[in-house]
A and B are shown apart, each in its own frame.
Chain A
């Protein structure tokens, strides 16, 4: 008898940020007030789009160069970000599409609605993507983004961070999160980080400096593993009573 996928592990909503987090002011009018209605996942959530490497360009995983003019490169501390996409059972997730975006080294995003006075870097766009290998490994190269102030409280700053969007095997595993950097004191000041209820959960978003993976005289390395919801495997046919 072979194992069959039979639905997603239930999401631990006490581990994720709640919808309403008043210290992150924008959530106040954008948070549903009714409780989300629980349902077991169906084929509509257990399946999902599959992305293949033919969508990738040669520089998609190199944010230092993918927007730069020929012979130029982005300004800032050069880093490699690597890690694995896993699910809650500890299995690596192969062929997961990982999309990232970030500010430049001065903390400025390339976006028409962005108004921070720090300058744009003409050689930095701020987006990259990669598809995990058979073991769930990914790696990309970029510059370390800067912290920046944002309109929330009168003096709120975001810690340096990289946004991550991940597709696993299932549409129900869809996740967006942010990676922070080991040792950054701004992490513990940030109202967006503070939407996450526990310090233990926050620490899972802090990437570790890994000197063994640095490229000497070139780039330091940070390790960031991402965990998606698990897919339940069973030796037995599931028979649900009703739904």
Chain B
């Protein structure tokens, strides 16, 4: 026998199920009067620095059908690459958003600003990106991915996370595609030929 390590095991995940909206976006699900508003619907204060953007898309299953009961959260840095809570962060950039996919069309939408490059642990810059977390009925453990910006080619080419992906053919699945009006389209494919890269962080 040896001494025991005093560590605990993480609580195992369970699916968010079909009624995740009741808990996380009750007003969206029609339960009004309990919380004033749903958390994560507003991502910006009055005067955030940076370019305004919209991130929109759908979450598609292995048959290409959009999920109409998924919920996404995103987290990103301010225009200078500083996360809320860090010294010098832009107080009008909240960085966090939560959005259920539309119950009919399956689309999600986040209105925010384009983040700047965040420093990697060794001090080198990562290309501008948004971290996403996706939960839904049928997803047993929340999925982590990133959206990079397809119009940041030079930065993307130098990004330490993108560079180490063995199957470079899959990297485009992480690219938000500019639509020309500040909107970036980012469809998430859970399965199938264009399956999005998910990360084991």
Which residues of A pack against B, CB within 8 Å? 6-8, 11-13, 15-19, 21, 24, 26-45, 47-51, 55, 57, 59-60, 66-67, 86-90, 99-101, 109-114, 125-127, 129, 163, 165, 171-172, 174-178, 192-193, 195-196, 201-202, 204-205, 226-230, 238-240, 242-243
Contact = CB atoms under 8 A, between A and B. Distances in A.
B191 A99 contact: no
B121 A42 contact: yes
A238 B94 contact: no
The CB with the most chain A CB atoms within 10 A, among B8, B30, B139, is that of B8
B31 A243 contact: no
Contacts of A90: 6-8
B140 A19 contact: yes
Given A30-B67, A111-B29, A11 B10 contact: yes
B40 to A, nearest CB: 8
Contacts of B30: 110-112
Given A29-B63, A227-B10, A36 B23 contact: no
Nearest to A50: B85
Taking residues whose C-beta sits less than 8 angstroms from the other chain, chain B's interface range is 35 or more
A176 B7 contact: no
Interface string B164-179: 1100001000000000
B75 A176 contact: no
A89 B196 CA distance: 32
B195 A41 contact: no
Nearest to B132: A171
Interface of B: 6-24, 26, 29-31, 33-36, 39, 61-63, 65, 67, 69, 73, 75-77, 83-86, 94-96, 103, 118-122, 126, 129, 131, 133, 135-144, 146, 160-161, 164-165, 170, 190-191, 195-201
Contact of B200 (A37, A171, A193): A37
Contacts of B137: 26, 30
A125 B26 contact: yes
Main SS of chain B's interface residues?
A: loop
B119 to A, nearest CB: 7
A170 to B, nearest CB: 10
A86 B11 CA distance: 10
Nearest to A172: B201
A126 B34 CA distance: 10
A38 B201 CA distance: 6
A206 to B, nearest CB: 11
B96 A49 contact: yes
B137 to A, nearest CB: 5
16 contacts: A11-B200, A24-B15, A32-B191, A37-B197, A40-B121, A42-B118, A45-B201, A57-B34, A60-B35, A89-B6, A90-B7, A109-B19, A126-B31, A165-B20, A172-B201, A228-B11
A36 B198 contact: yes
B146 to A, nearest CB: 7
B118 A34 contact: no
